[in-house]
Chain A
Amino acid sequence: MSEAEKTTERSIMEDIDLINAFKAGDKTAFDALVIRHKDMVFNLCYRFLGDLQDANDAAQDVFIKAFKALKRFRFESSFSTWIYRIGVNTCKNKVKSAEHRYREQTTSLDNPGPGRDGDPPMEMADESPSPTVALESKERSMIIQKAIHSLPKGKKKMIILRDMEGLSYDEIMNITGFNLGTVKSKIARARSDLRGMLRGVL
């Protein structure tokens, strides 16, 4: 077992302990679960929604749903897979909502503008080494993000889960409920379409 796998295994066991503590009545165990998974959930939501404020709201919705359902958690998957599934479904519903559709049409990825209620816009951490590289990287990221958002929902989901979140095929099967063949073909088609959209741009 590789070091990464050992880390993942340890993480999964810690999640199980926290869930058991929560089921036993320790509400602070849920806070620990939130702290461990909030960035992953937040990032997933941001990938789907393309807006930091929406991502924040959606991520909170995900954890609220998780809080309500955690007592019924049966350990048939890892907590992270379970919460990914909640996240994907939550974002799917958010995207469906008319409000989000409207915001999607009027918000530019180049200039997201202030958040809802006039809050200052959330900024992504800039860890690039130089301004030039940073600009190129940022532009490249924006172009790719835009292309991802213009994909159909199913293909977008596959790209996010497989290539952006790095989930295994098994995990994706678990989250989406598709069989392996379907997952493989959907990922292949999504990648092919995205490459076709970015060809000549990048």
Chain B
Amino acid sequence: MDCVNIQRLLSEYIDGVLDAQTRDKVEKHLSTCERCGEEIESLKALIRDLETLPRVKAPDDFLEQLHERMHARFDFWAYIKGFSRFFQMRIPLQIAAATAMAVLIFAIVYSPHIGDRITDMQVDKVQEVLEEQEKETMTASAPMEIKAEMPSKPQAPAERDEQMGIEIQEVSKAREGAAVKSPEPALEKLEPTLKRTSQPPVPMTAAVKPVLPKSSAEEVQRIELSLLLKRADKGDVRSRSYDMEAKSAPSVPEKTSARSFGAGGEEKLGGVTLKDKQRFDYFKEDNAIQEADTEGSPPRDGSGTWVLSPYEARKQVESFVAKVQGRMLKVETKDKTDVPVYVDVEIPADQYSDFYRELHRIGTVRSSLPAISEKDQNPIQIRVRFVME
């Protein structure tokens, strides 16, 4: 056996793990080979050095340190395990599925995001109706005026305000140029009544700079609502007057006309004229009937459906405005008729929710309800646009 092979066995030879035959061979070689003898001596010295390397001892407080660490660790894991037991409970699959479904339905129904989408869809529908109505109006009036009055798409509040401002300026110019038709007789009758309110008088059909002045933009909140009115059936007299549109003057029910616009005393009652008070009383009765209708009593008109024309709807709005000591700012009518397209009103902010409820009695408010702080002392301006179904 040569030196290389012998030197490979020296480690095992030192440790005494060679078999007897191999050990003899190694011993025989070592007795004759000086180089391998040096090799084994250096290896033995190394092993001796390694064996005699100083040993280190654990610190005296090793056990205490260990206890501290174990307590901290096992307390933590005990807490985690206790908590995880809750999740290890076996819940029947049906119950789990039913719970998950309930949570899902709740999330869908009460998700404000989804609610917004539904409202947006409603607004889009109303907008379609508005556009159709707009087309009808365009056939009878100057294109420039209509373009200014009717925004083609729903707009953000700021945008809408700006648009309204433009609209008013346009209408104002048109009025100056005698482009806008003079008000119908019924509206002229209304004007004296409005003049007696506590607010400065505003002509009903005037293009109305005070309505949306830029300077008061921060103070007055403006809202635009669309009020969807049901189309009248053929048998209904009031609605037929609307359907006839520009062909003839609308036939207003006598009773209403007399009560609303008849001449009489002008005694003021806390900002509300006696006339207004009377009109309010009238509409209070009327509203009471309407409320009864909504609660399930049969409809009153001849066709079997409760119908209110834009003209009557406008009067209802006027009455409410008078009731809350607000003021009418503008009534925009269709060309050559007194059929109102929209009315601008100003009411105290704290009357907003009542006003909104009032509109619901008249028709269906299809615009989303803007958030209004009723504590706000500033008045709010609302444009109620009448939309025929």
Contacts and interface: CB of A to CB of B under 8 A. Distances in A.
A95 interface: no
A140 interface: yes
B12 A164 contact: no
A169 B53 CA distance: 20
Interface stretch (A52-60, A74-82, A86-94, A102-110): A52-60
Contacts, number: 89
Given A124-B56, A187-B11, A56 B62 contact: yes
Contacts of B9: 188
A31 interface: yes
A144 interface: yes
A184 interface: yes
Given A34-B62, A64-B66, A122-B59, A198 B46 contact: yes
Given A42-B58, A125-B54, A192 B11 contact: yes
Nearest to A46: B56
Contacts of A145: 53
A38 B63 contact: yes
A42 B56 contact: yes
A172 to B, nearest CB: 11
Given A34-B62, A169-B17, A192-B11, A39 B51 contact: no
Interface residues of A, number: 42
A191 interface: yes
Size range of the chain B interface in the assembly: 20 to 34
B178 interface: no
Given A64-B73, A169-B15, A39 B66 contact: no
Interface string A38-75: 11011100100000100110011001100100000000
A195 interface: yes
A144 B66 contact: no
Given A42-B56, A191-B46, A64 B11 contact: no
Interface of B: 8-12, 15, 17, 42-43, 46-47, 49-51, 53-59, 62-63, 65-66, 69-70, 73
Counting from the closest, the 3 A-B pairs by CB-CB distance are A188-B11, A42-B58, A163-B50
12 contacts: A31-B63, A38-B62, A39-B56, A42-B62, A56-B59, A60-B65, A64-B69, A124-B56, A137-B54, A159-B50, A164-B51, A198-B46
